[in-house]
Amino acid sequence: MQKSKPLAIAIFLTLLCSCQPKQEEHVTGLALDWEALASKIIERSDLQTGERVIMVGQPGHFDPLVKALTEKIPKTGAVYLGTISVDSTLWPESWKTEFIKSAMASPGYDSRSLLDNIDLGIMLPGASPADLPYATLQGSLRQGIGRTIHFHWSGAFDFNGRVSPMTDEVNAVYQEAILNTDYDALGSKQLEFETAARKDWIVVTTPEGTNIRFRIGDRPVTRQDGDASKSRTSSARNLIDREVELPAGAVRMAPLEETVEGTIFYPDLYWGNQKVEGLVIAYKEGMITDLRAKVGKDSVEAVLNKGGLAAHSFREFALGFNPLLKVQRTYLPHYGYGAGVVRLSLGNNQELGGSVTSGEYARNTFFTNATVMIGADVWVKDGKLVK
């Protein structure tokens, strides 16, 4: 990918907030290091004696990881309760502990009955918020109960915004990021950014003409630094503080809606079924006040009108910090968690601690050529993290 070529990718999310587009998640010919990956999950969860742990997964997706974690969890002193299959017709016997068998044998079995008083849920590839066990655990997170590790082996997109297959190359990038990220350095840099962001205006610009500014005040800032310890999540302020992603890398926040002002020049991507070109949207106090497009304006308006108030509201600013998830030659890894990638979003931001609570609309747009300033300090220059 040439340095001069601007890139922005939009992903449309149809389920509430933390949900991501469904992607085929699987291992190809690459021999992943299951023992090392399981050990890293254990390390990042910092399990304590007596903590109750359950896994949620889809058979056929990372089964060797389930086996490795099943063996490692009890060695920490924590209690392994079993693994719930999101496909009840494909539930390996090896996943069914006595705890799970007992619950399944009870009248009116419902997977929700397994999820009371869980300290840690490990969400494995193949499971998504559209699945009842996953959604139930998210309900607990919203109530301030427990924590999850979202072992998120997906989120690669090509430069037209389409889901990229999980090839050996992508798998290798993800494994490298999980195993070799300097988590202390990542967390330190993210905390530095949060501290600075609370003191001044954040301004995002692009060579195409984007120029939007906002403040975050005392709003929650989620630092996806891979720390899934109980001590860390005990200070969580929202759902995504408790849903810790691996690979790690992004700082996420819902700006104070009344401070969001400016324009965003969007890439030429699909809105509805139509390719939209030259789209520019203006914002005032966090709401869309005007939009124009060279091609496809009617399609944008139709999508936004269908999405209601949330679709007309600025949702989120996110910035990637992980150098091991950098933009690749033909694709963007893991939802823009790579260093210098900017994400600007429309929609409901309740899970982020924002005040846009209507509807379920959310649409993310990623920029790899943005400049980000906090006051007079440049943090990102033309897509490169420089601070």
Q: Which domains does the chain have, with CATH numbers?
A: 8-15+183-231+249-385 (no CATH), 34-154 (3.40.50)
Listed in sequence order, the DSSP H helices in the chain are: 34-45, 63-72, 98-105, 132-142, 168-180, 183-197, 230-233, 239-242, 297-311
Q: What is the mean pLDDT of residues 95-100?
A: 92
Is the confidence at residue 21, as pLDDT, over 70?
Answer: no
User: What separation in angstroms does the CA of 159 have from each of 88, 133, 148, 246, 296?
Assistant: 36, 33, 31, 23, 20
Provide the pLDDT confidence category of residue 26 given band limits of 50, 70 and 90. low
Cis peptide before 21 (omega within 30 of 0): no
Is the confidence at residue 7, as pLDDT, over 80?
Answer: no
**What pLDDT is stored for residue 116 in this prediction?**
81
Per residue in 303-352, pLDDT tens?
A: 999 999 999 999 999 999 999 999 999 999 999 999 999 999 999 999 99
Determine how β-strand 280-284 pairs with β-strand 261-265. Answer: antiparallel
**Torsion region of 168: left, alpha or beta (phi above 0 gives left; psi -120 to 50 gives alpha):** alpha
Is the confidence at residue 12, as pLDDT, over 70?
Answer: no
Provide the pLDDT confidence category of residue 13 given band limits of 50, 70 and 90. very low
Is the confidence at residue 188, as pLDDT, over 80?
Answer: yes
Q: Which of 85, 55, 87 is nearest to 69 (CA)?
A: 55
**What pLDDT is stored for residue 171 in this prediction?**
94
Range of lowest pLDDT (13-22, 112-121, 245-254, 266-275): 13-22
Provide the pLDDT confidence category of residue 9 given band limits of 50, 70 and 90. low
Phi and psi torsions of 60, nearest 5°: 95, -10
Is the confidence at residue 287, as pLDDT, over 70?
Answer: yes
Listed in sequence order, the DSSP H helices in 244-318 are: 297-311
User: pLDDT over 90 for what percent of the chain?
Assistant: 77
Is the confidence at residue 24, as pLDDT, over 50?
Answer: no
Mean pLDDT for all residues in the chain: 90
pTM of the model: 0.90
